[in-house]
Amino acid sequence: MHYPMSGSQTNPLHVDFCGLSLTSPIVLLSGCVGFGEEYTRVEGFSNSDVGAVVLKGTTLEPRLGHRPRRMCETPLGMLNAIGLQNPGVDKVIDEILPGLDFSETRFIANICGSTIDDYAAITRRFDDSPIDAIEINISCPNISEGGVHFGNVPEMSARVVAACRAQTNKPIITKLSPNQTDIRENARLCIEAGSDAFAVINTVMAMAIDIEQRTPVLGNVRGGLSGPAIKPIALLMTLQVHEVSKPHNIPIIGQGGITTPDDAIEFMIAGAATVGVGTALFYEPLVCPEINAGIAAYLERHDMASIAELVGSMAQ
If we measure between CA atoms, which residue out of 133, 100, 5, 105 comes closest to residue 46?
105
Based on the residue annotation, tell me whether 140 is a catalytic residue of this protein: yes
In total, the chain counts a number of residues equal to: 316
Rounded to an integer, what distance in angstroms lies between the CA atom of residue 259 and that of residue 265? 11
Q: Which of 32, 72, 112, 140 is catalytic?
A: 140
> Would you put residue 219 in left (φ > 0), alpha (ψ -120 to 50) or beta?
alpha
Q: What is the DSSP string of 15-82?
A: EEETTEEESSSEEEPTTSSTTTTGGGGSTT--GGGSSEEEEEEE-SS-B--PPSP-EEEETTEEEE--
Tell me how far CA of residue 118 lies from CA of 93, 94, 112, 130, 138, in angstroms.
Answer: 16, 19, 8, 20, 12
Backbone phi, psi, residue 314, to 5° = -65, 130
**Catalytically annotated residues:** 140
